[in-house]
Amino acid sequence: MHHLSIDLETYSSVPIAKAGAQKYIQSKDFQILLFAYSVDGVPVEIIDLARGEYLPPWLVQAITSPDYIKHAYNAAFEWGCLSKFLGPLPPNQWRCTMFHGLYCGYTAGLDATGKALGLPEDKKKLNTGKALIRYFCVPCRPSNANGQRTRNLPHHDPAKWELFREYCRQDVVTEMEIERRLSAFPVPDFVQKQWETDLVINARGVAVDMELVGGALSLGATVRQNLMTEATQLSGLDNPNSVSQLTKWLEEETGEGLSDLRKDTVARLLKEDNNSAKVRRMLEIRQELGKTSTKKYDAIEAAVCADGRVRGLLQFYGANRTGRWAGRLVQVQNLPRTYTEPLDLARELVRHRNLDGLRVIYGSVPDTLSQLIRTAFIAPEGHVLIDADFSAIEARVISWLAGEQWRLEVFRTHGKIYEASASQMFGVPLERIKKGNPEYALRQKGKVAELALGYQGSSGALIAMGALDMGIPEEDLSDIVSRWREANKRIRDLWYAVENAAVQVITQGGTVGINGLILSHEYNCNQGTDCMTITLPSGRKLYYVSPSIGQNQWGRPSIAYMGMDQTTKKWKVVETYGGKLVENCVQAIARDCLADAIERLEAAGLPVVFHVHDEIIAEVPNGTERDLQRVIEIMCQPLPWAPDLPLNADGWVGRYFRKD
């Protein structure tokens, strides 16, 4: 078996960041400029396709041969580029070094991963790349100085082109060195297969209703312009959407100092009775302008391919602490919920750009447009979408992982975990916690406790989850925490057992098993890699790079590792604790349930077009309720590595995506 490492430099007039790789590659002017490669680690060669060179026959054969494993950083891109010219290439012949790095706890990005691994200077990515890519890989603005050209070619700056060739060559060097460093921590075959399936799903894409998208964009622009015109006439401001201008105006009108104009601040001001009609209307307009964003529709319009489908919506291993997918382009993982009824009528009014009809029937046009964004994803003619969602998957997984038997019995029977939790916490018979009984008020406490406390959260977590907004007094919060922990002793014990095991393996080495989790300290002196790993029941591992033990603000041992700070996006020391490690494991196991279900659905001929958290959307020809039941049965099949994990799912069949 040979190993072919590849890096491509390409040109397209389509902006890849907004449109995605698939539309970028499908552009008529798409071109591969440079093809750098190495076979089995020999010095990198480069083929200058932009200057008329071509791929030798042996290399073309190698690209399509199972005797050569193809490696690239973000291999989905190279796979897509070469598939355009050579036909669909078998995904199982490809390996993605970026994914390998994410699997091992590192960040995305060739340069960032190289730095995190501490690569020597001669192995690092060159820092000249961004400027060269801007010069050769995207259209340029015509000017008198450049002869009104719209593109820079090699002969326009031969010196820059030579730098670009070296940049491309060095990317292969860096990719191979990263792969060598990570080779001590291989990706399991079944996870590699999931990456291959994801490649196929992202290339398949999902159909979109461009008539609805066009109508939403047109109506959104009209509404926004009308609101801005009204606000300008009311206030006399140049830009009434400016926070600073509007804040100053409101302070002058109300005599009240304002620190911000966030959503909750505006809502609070609207509740005050002493504001004038003009101030109230300006605040209402501020609220409406906050809802008029058509960014999701803009994103669909930018990314839709010529065949009416959007591709590349998901990033495999985008959340690398757990291995969950991350949203890309349209960000399907944070779409607004759909409450609008009747839904079909609302969609038709938008498709026909009937602004007055929307106002009369649904009230707020911006809010209606926001809710309809989900329904822009549709099944093509002769097909339906089948949507199935795992029920309370994290609550089921943590119950199973901890061995909390009363909870497992709930999920194996009626499934009412909020009521059952309240019953356990407050010693009230379950049958009393139902609508019409005074004990039903306890359900809210059971619900917020379930949502907030499973990962060692306390009163602050309850507040963050909306306990105070639910009407629960702040003085009751500590009692809720105590009662929930007492009712869930095995979950509570799991936090501390995992934390103690992590401290032990980091300080003493070795391996510790906790409830089917295996914590280890893995070090490879040849590659200079040092990780704490948690092996999940599926056999997949979670990686914590360069683990260490410090001391937290309470004087207890503090577990730390190197990771990406989600706020600053910098590689730095990150602290964690038992509850957080349990959260990582639970979410990772839930992810494995989803990934296994996707593999089974694909194998059964039920093609997945995208998925959201624990929800799968498949596209089926003329599907019926019988097909939905088939999907649910496949999703809920016992897992080989967790045969007693009680899974359940529910869903719907329809022509467009929605949230029940």
CATH code for position 612: 3.30.70
Instruction: Find, among 642, 644, 517, the residue nearest to 578 by Cα.
Output: 517
**Residues 166 and 215 occupy one common structural domain:** no
**330 lies in some domain:** yes
Q: Considering only CA atoms, give the Rg of the chain.
A: 28
**191 lies in some domain:** no
**52 lies in some domain:** yes
User: How confident is the model at residue 171, as a pLDDT?
Assistant: 96
User: How confident is the model at residue 292, as a pLDDT?
Assistant: 63
Own/partner long-range contacts of 252-258 (Cβ < 8 Å, ≥24 apart)? 253/278, 253/279, 254/279
User: How confident is the model at residue 552, as a pLDDT?
Assistant: 77
**Residues 529 and 413 occupy one common structural domain:** no
**321 lies in some domain:** yes
**190 lies in some domain:** no
Tokens 């009240």 label which residue?
256
User: How confident is the model at residue 128, as a pLDDT?
Assistant: 85
Rounded Cα gap, residues 240 and 522, in angstroms:
58
Instruction: Find, among 596, 608, 605, 612, the residue nearest to 647 by Cα.
Output: 596
Residue 549, number of CB atoms within 10 A of its CB:
13
Rounded Cα gap, residues 477 and 580, in angstroms:
21
- For residue 654, what is the DSSP state? E
**Residues 393 and 368 occupy one common structural domain:** no
Q: Which of 454, 487, 520 is the last residue of a domain?
A: 487
Alpha helices for 272-416 (secondary structure H): 277-291, 295-303, 343-351, 355-362, 365-372, 393-402, 405-412
**Residues 374 and 387 occupy one common structural domain:** no
How many domains does the chain fold into?
4
User: How confident is the model at residue 471, as a pLDDT?
Assistant: 87
Torsion (CA) 23, 384, 592, 576 in degrees, nearest 10: 70
- How would you classify the pairing of strands 94-96 and 68-72? parallel
Q: What is the Cα 316 distance to its own chain's centre?
A: 9
**Residues 373 and 424 occupy one common structural domain:** no
Rounded Cα gap, residues 239 and 229, in angstroms:
10
Amino acid at 418: Y
pLDDT, tens only, 602-644: 999 999 999 999 999 999 998 889 999 999 999 999 999 999 9
Hey, is 9 helix, strand or coil? strand
Q: Which domain CATH number covers 39?
A: 3.30.420.10
Amino acid at 364: S
Backbone angles phi, psi at 335, to 5 degrees: -75, 145
User: How confident is the model at residue 550, as a pLDDT?
Assistant: 85
pLDDT, tens only, 85-126: 999 999 999 999 999 999 999 998 899 899 888 888 878 888
Bridge partners (DSSP) listed for residue 617: 387, 610
Residue 412, number of CB atoms within 10 A of its CB:
12
Specify whether the CB–CB gap between 328 and 314 falls below 8 A.
yes
**Residues 393 and 449 occupy one common structural domain:** no
**197 lies in some domain:** no
Q: Which of 130, 148, 183 is the last residue of a domain?
A: 183
Amino acid at 105: G
Segments in the chain below pLDDT 70: 292, 527
**Residues 219 and 177 occupy one common structural domain:** no
Rounded Cα gap, residues 449 and 442, in angstroms:
11
**463 lies in some domain:** yes
Task: Encode 58-88: b = buried (16+ Cβ within 10 Å), e = exposed.
Answer: ebeebbeeeebebbbbbbbbbbbbbbeeeee
SS3 string of 147-181? CCCCCCCHHHCHHHHHHHHHHHHHHHHHHHHHHHH
**Residues 374 and 463 occupy one common structural domain:** no
Specify whether the CB–CB gap between 397 and 590 falls below 8 A.
yes
**Residues 297 and 253 occupy one common structural domain:** yes
Residue 571: give the domain boundaries.
382-397+511-660
Q: Which of 150, 183, 216 is the last residue of a domain?
A: 183
Angstrom distances, CA of residue 108 to CA of 36, 318, 543, 563, 598: 21, 8, 15, 11, 24
**Residues 222 and 266 occupy one common structural domain:** yes
Torsion (CA) 272, 273, 277, 280 in degrees, nearest 10: 20
CA dihedral sign of residues 79, 84, 85, 91 = positive
**Residues 451 and 595 occupy one common structural domain:** no
Specify whether the CB–CB gap between 563 and 580 falls below 8 A.
no
**47 lies in some domain:** yes
**Residues 386 and 353 occupy one common structural domain:** no
